[in-house]
Amino acid sequence: MPPSPKLAPVPQVAKIRGAEERSIILDGVTWRYWFAGSGPPLLLIHGFMGYSFSWRFNMESLAKDFSVYAMDLPGCGFSERPNCTECTLTGDAARVLQFMERLGIENADIVGSSRGGGLSILLAALAARTNQLHRIRRLVLVSPINPWSSHGKVLARLLATTLGGIYVVHVQPRLKIIAKRYFKALYGDPARVSPGTFEGYTAGTEPPGSFEHLSRILRSWHDDLEAIHQALGEISGMPILLLWGSRDRAVYPSSIHQLQRQLKNSALVMFPGAGHLPYEEVPEEFNRVLCDFLLHDAPRTAFEIAADRAISR
C-alpha cells in the first residue's frame, strides 16, 4: 500500500536500503512501516526517540531468512501523531497486536529495543492473557527498560514534571548540540557513529507533535515500569534472548541479573565495548547472533563462531 497523503514524506537520509515503504490505518491513525524479505514474520520495535530508521543496518540481512516488518509506532518517526492525552506501553502493546491482526500475521518473532523491549514484554503478556501466546514465538530484548536500571527512572521522573514537559516540548528541539552529545553517549565508541545517523534521527522528530508525544511517553514511564514488573511472571517460560552492550549508559547492564531471575528460559549475549544500540554499533555481529537464536535456538558470539571455524579447519 502506498504511503498515506496524511503522512510527511520520508527524506532520503531516513530511507532503509533493501526495504519497501508501506502504510496502514488502525483506528483512524496512519502508521508507516518498512517491509522486506520472505519467510517467517519478524517484527522490529524501536525504542524511545527512535523509529524504523534504527534498523537500517539490519533489515536487508535479516530479510534473507524472514519477512521483516520495521514499524514507526504512532507518534514516532513518520507515522501520524495521534490526538491523545497519554501514551502507555500497555496501549502500544495492544496496538501492535492489532497491527499483526490487520496484516494477517498469525505469529511472529519479536525484537524490541529499549522502550520497545518493554513494549515487547507487555505484548507477550497481553497475548498470554487473551489466550494468544502462540502468536508470539520468541522474544529478543535489546537492553530493555526495566525496574532495576536506576538511570532511566530518575531521568524520566525529572522530565515528566511540568517544568520537564516544558523543556521537552519547547526547549529540547532547539538544542541540537546537546541532543547530539546525548546521542553519541548511547554508543560505546562514538567513532562508530555512521555518517547521516544523527541527521536521520533528527528527521524523525521534525514532524509537528513529535516532542509532545515524547512528553506523554515520559509521563507514563513510572507506571510502564511497574506494568513490566507485573508482566514478567506471565512470560517467564518463553524462549527469550537478552542482548546488551557492555558500555550501555542508558539501561545499565547491572540490571540484567535481576531481570534474568524473572525470565527462567532466557539466554544472554553481551557485546563487549558496545553501548545502548548494538544493532547500529556492531550490526554484523548483532545480525549473526540474532539469526543464530531465531534459526537455530543457539545464540553465539563472534568469538564462538570464530572458534568453531578454526576447529573445522
Residue ranges and CATH numbers for the domains of the chain are: 12-312 (3.40.50.1820)
C-alpha to C-alpha distance for 68 and 227, rounded to whole angstroms: 28
pLDDT value of position 180: 78
pLDDT value of position 82: 87
C-alpha to C-alpha distance for 8 and 29, rounded to whole angstroms: 14
pLDDT value of position 163: 40
Percent of the chain with pLDDT over 90: 71
pLDDT of 274 strictly over 50: yes
pLDDT in tens, 232-254: 999 999 999 999 999 999 999 99
Reading the block at residue 249, the C-alpha cell is 549508559
* Average pLDDT value over all residues in the chain: 86
Phi, psi of 68 (to 5 degrees): -105, 130
Cβ-contact 105, 96 below 8 angstroms? no
pLDDT in tens, 161-182: 444 433 344 345 544 556 677 8
The pTM (predicted TM-score) of the whole model is 0.89
Integer distance in angstroms from the first to the last C-alpha of the chain? 49
Percent of the chain with pLDDT over 70: 83
